[in-house]
A and B are shown apart, each in its own frame.
Chain A
Amino acid sequence: MAQIRIFGGSIGIAASSAILGSKTRALTVPPEALAHLASNPSALSPDQWALIRTVYTEALREDMIVCCAVLAVAMVVTLGVYRKNRVSMEEMIKMRYREEGERRRASAIIMMEKARAGVAAPAK
């Protein structure tokens, strides 16, 4: 479960980077100045900053619209989780234990039969 979540998340991060990239490409600020965005904020004029803020906000808006679409699909998928005749969590756990117990008993019987056959074979 955790792995599949991270898998979805990596696609999300890739999508957001792609959206931001396409937005910044349209920007009129020189790329050299953008490289120092974090380390040297004073290298950019207030006008350029305003422009960058707008671009980042637009990218965020687009990211969120994509997220809304993904979540709408998730809601449809979630309908598939519904199950009739639901029981409590405790009973479900008990059911799993019973299942595992039966499986182990069955495999123990098979092992015993194999062992018996193995013992019987050399005697012939």
Chain B
Amino acid sequence: MVLLRNRPYAATVLHTMLTGFPYLLSIYVFPVRFQVVYGRSARDAGLMLLPMLAASAVGTMAAGAINGGKKKVRFMESLMAACALMLLGCALETTAGSEGVVEAKVLGFLAFIGLGFGLSAASGTMLAGVEAPVWEHGEFLIFVVCLGGMVC
């Protein structure tokens, strides 16, 4: 377990877990809200998640542009910006109303969460790729799979 003694790597693992929480929660909660509160069909609810998913693609590209190539890596800054964007999105989502009409702002704020997640996911994966020694690439994965099995 050389990896967990590597501070940036361990911090990124924790960061990934803590940002996966709001992202997957949003993916689960918002379509339910679109169906129940806005009275839309399941298909429409899925389509209404598109701003979030598109923003997440943009975030991924941004992460590549910030960290890749010959420039110095800025993992801490990009992961921090990702957290800040998701925090902003989540904070703004608390203003959602209960009138039953589709609110554009809710979809717009979801884009912040998506953008932050894209940035965090790509930067985290890049960091894991370059911080871990080649022979450790498989080991941590097996450990987490076992952990997942235990939780189940």
Contacts and interface: CB of A to CB of B under 8 A. Distances in A.
B17 interface: yes
A60 B29 contact: yes
Interface of A: 1, 3-13, 15-16, 37-38, 41, 49-50, 52-54, 56-58, 60-61, 63-65, 67-68, 70-75, 77-83, 86-90, 92-93, 96-97, 99-100, 103
B133 A37 contact: no
Given A37-B36, A57-B97, A81-B12, A88 B72 contact: yes
Contacts of A4: 13, 16-17, 20, 144
A80 B75 CA distance: 11
A16 B24 CA distance: 10
Contacts of A67: 21-22, 25-26, 86, 90
Which residue, of B13, B15, B26, B121, has the highest number of chain A Cβ atoms within 10 A? B15
B72 A7 contact: no
Given A53-B100, A92-B130, A79 B76 contact: yes
A1 B74 CA distance: 19
A11 B147 CA distance: 14
B70 to A, nearest CB: 5
Given A9-B23, A56-B98, A77 B18 contact: yes
Secondary structure call for the B interface: helix
Contact of A71 (B22, B39, B69, B98): B22
B75 A81 contact: yes
Interface of B: 7-8, 10-29, 32-33, 35-37, 39, 67-76, 79-80, 83-84, 86-87, 90-91, 93-94, 96-100, 121, 124-135, 141, 144-145, 147-148, 151
A74 B18 contact: yes
A7 B127 contact: no
Contacts of A80: 7-8, 10-11, 14
29 contacts: A1-B12, A3-B145, A4-B17, A8-B16, A8-B19, A9-B20, A12-B20, A12-B23, A13-B25, A16-B25, A57-B33, A57-B37, A60-B33, A60-B96, A61-B96, A67-B25, A70-B22, A71-B86, A77-B15, A78-B83, A79-B11, A79-B80, A80-B10, A81-B79, A82-B8, A86-B74, A89-B130, A93-B129, A99-B134
Contacts of B23: 5, 9, 12
